[in-house]
Structure 1
Amino acid sequence: MVAVGEVLSGGITNAGAVVRHGEIVDRPAQAHAPAIHRFLDALAEHGFTGAPKPVGLGDGREQLTYVAGDVALQPYPAWSMTDAALASVGALLRRFHQASSAIPLEPGVPWATGLADPHGGTMLCHSDTCVENVVFRDGEAYGLIDFDLAAPGRPLWDVAMAARYWVPMLDPETAARFPSYAGLDPVRRLRILADGYGMSAEDRTELLSVVDEVIVVERADIAAGLEGGDAAFVKAFHDHGGWLTWDRLQAWLADQRTTFLAALTQ
C-alpha cells in the first residue's frame, strides 16, 4: 500500500517536489505544460499507452496519472541492465516515435531548450530518455515519464540520448565509477539497442554522430548550470572529474568510432 502524499524518488531538478497521491502524481509544471498535456492526450489517441495522462494544471503545478511499474534508480538493479531490458527500451522508443510522428507540432510553443536536438525536427522527442525516466512492467520497458524536456527533434536524438545512459556510452575509466555498469560491453550493447529499435541501415551509420551531438549539448547544459552557481551542482561536477571527464569521454568515442560502427552495421 502506497501512503498518501508519498514523495517520489529520482530526478534532479524536481527532487523532493514530486508527490504521489494514490493514482495521481502532483509535480511542478513547466511553462510549456499546457502543450505537453495536449501532446500526452494525443499520444493516447494514437495508441501509445505508456505515458502519463493529464489530470489538472494550475498554480504552477500539474497533476498526471501515475504510470505503474518499476523504475530503476541508482545503483541500478541487475534486471535493468540486461540485454533483454535494453532491447525493450529500443522497442519502446520505436512505439513512442510512431505515435509522436503522427501528432502535428504546435506552433509558438516555448519548448524546453536544455537538452533539445540542435537540428530541431518535425516531431516531438522526449529528449531525456535516461534510465530513471523509463517504466518497466514484467521486465520489459513499458512507459516514459517526465516530459519536461520534450522538444522538436529527430527520432535518432532520443535513441542517442538513451544510448548514453543505457548502453552506456562512457569511457572505461568513467564507467568503472558506477557498479551498475560493471561488466557491460558498450560496443555490443549499442547494437542491441539499435536492433531493438529496428533501426534502418542509414540511421545506424548516423547514430554515432548524433551521440557526439548529444554530448556537445550536454556539455553546454552543464556549463549553463555551473554559471548559475548552485553550490551542490558545482560540487557534484568537480567530484566527478570536471571537464577532464568529458574530454576523456569524447576522445574515447573518437578512438572507438570504427569499432562501434562495425558493430552497428555488420
Structure 2
Amino acid sequence: MTTEDEAAGEALAGGTVNAGAVVRRGAWVERPAPHHVHALHAHLLALKESGFDAAPTPVGLTADGRERLTFVPGDVALPPFPAWAMTAPALESVGVLLRRLHETATGIVVDTDVEWPPDLADPEGGTVVCHNDVSPDNVVFRDGRAAALIDFDLAAPGRPLWDVAMTARYWVPMLDPESAASLYPPGLDAPARLRILADGYGLSPEDRAALPGTVEQATEVCRAFVARRVAGGDPGYLRMLAERGGWQRWDRMRDWLAAHRETFTAALLG
C-alpha cells in the first residue's frame, strides 16, 4: 500500500543539472530520464547481474517518462563538503569503489549503437563504461566508507584512467587553493591525497605517470561542459559560475595544475 508521504515524495538535495527534480518515494527514487535511459538501465542491470551491488537498480519508467530506481541508503556529502567526507580513509575507499566498478564493467559489452552522453566523456574513447561524475554528492557513504555510486546520467565509454582523473578533480581536489577554499575543509594536501586515491584504486605505474596530464585534459573538458551550459542559459550553471569566480577561476585552475604537474607526478611515483 502506498502511504500519503510516499505519494507526495521527498525532494532530494544536491546536483546541478537535476537540482530540485529528484524525488524519493519510499523505496524508489524518481528523476528526469536521460535520452539513453534504456541503454543506461540495461547497463546498470548488467552491473548488478555481474556482482556490482553498489549502484541503484533500475525499476522502470513512470507514466510521465521519468526514470525510477531503487533508493540507496547512506550519507552523501553536499557542498561545502564536510570534514568527515575528506578523511584519508574516505578518499581511499572512493578509489577502491571506483576500481570495483571498472573491474565489473570491463566484462560488460558496450552497446556501440547507443548515443552515450558526450558531455564529460573521455575524448579518446574506450571500451569501459565510466561514471564520469564521481563527485562527493554522487557517492553514498556508510560508516565513513564509500559504499555506492549514484547518478550515472553522464556515464559513457572511455578509459578507466579518465574516470580516475575526473574523480581526482573532485576528491583531492585538483583545484588551486583559492578555488578549493569555498567548498572544501582547509589544509588538504593535494599531492598526498592524489597518491591516496591512486593507491586505493591500485593504479599502475604507467597510469600514475599519465594521471596529472589526464587531470588537466579532464579539467578542459569540464570547462567546455560548463561553457555550453552557460551559453544555453542554464540557471544553475550561470549561478554557479558567478558564485565561484567566473572564468578567472578556470584560468587560475589551469595554470595551477600545469605549474604543479611535476609535484603530482613525484607524489604518485615516489
Shorter-normalised TM-score: what interval? over 0.9
Q: Which amino acid aligns with 2:89?
A: A
1:181 alignment partner, SS class: coil
CA separation in 2, counterparts of 1:137 and 1:195?
21
1:63 alignment partner, SS class: strand
CA positional deviation for 1:136 = 0.9
TM-score (norm 1): 0.96
Tell me which of 141, 148, 151 is aligned to 2:146.
141
Aligned pair count reads 264
Aligned to 1:184: 188
**Does the 8 Å CA contact 2:24/2:30 hold for their aligned counterparts?**
yes
CA separation in 2, counterparts of 1:232 and 1:247?
21
Aligned to 1:43: 47
1:11 alignment partner, SS class: coil
Aligned to 2:166: 161
Aligned to 2:240: 236
2:99 alignment partner, SS class: helix
CA positional deviation for 1:107 = 2.1
2:117 paired with 1:112: yes
| Structure 1 residue ranges, 4+ long, deviating more than 2 angstroms after superposition | 229-236
Aligned to 1:247: 251
2:260 alignment partner, SS class: helix
**Does the 8 Å CA contact 2:17/2:236 hold for their aligned counterparts?**
no
Alignment of 1:45-60 (within 5 A): 45-58=49-62, 59-60=64-65
**Does the 8 Å CA contact 1:168/1:181 hold for their aligned counterparts?**
no
Tell me which of 133, 141, 145 is aligned to 1:128.
133
TM-score (norm 2): 0.94
Tell me which of 29, 32, 48 is aligned to 2:33.
29
2:227 paired with 1:199: no
2:187 alignment partner, SS class: coil
Q: How far does the alpha carbon of each residue in 1:20-59 deviate from its partner, in whole angstroms, 9 at most, with x for none?
A: 1111111110110100111011001111100011111253
Greater displacement, 185-194 / 244-253: 244-253
2:87 paired with 1:82: yes
Structure 1 unaligned regions, length at least 5:
none
CA positional deviation for 1:237 = 1.2
The 1:231/1:35 distance shift into structure 2, 3 A limit, reads: closer
1:170 alignment partner, SS class: coil
Q: How far does the alpha carbon of each residue in 1:143-184 deviate from its partner, in whole angstroms, 9 at most, with x for none?
A: 110010011110011111111111000111211223x33111
CA positional deviation for 1:232 = 5.0
Q: Which amino acid aligns with 1:250?
A: R
2:108 alignment partner, SS class: coil
Structure 2 unaligned regions, length at least 5:
none
CA separation in 2, counterparts of 1:211 and 1:143?
23
CA separation in 1, counterparts of 2:168 and 2:153?
20
Q: Which amino acid aligns with 1:212?
A: E
CA separation in 1, counterparts of 2:82 and 2:237?
25
CA separation in 1, counterparts of 2:235 and 2:153?
23
2:187 paired with 1:171: no
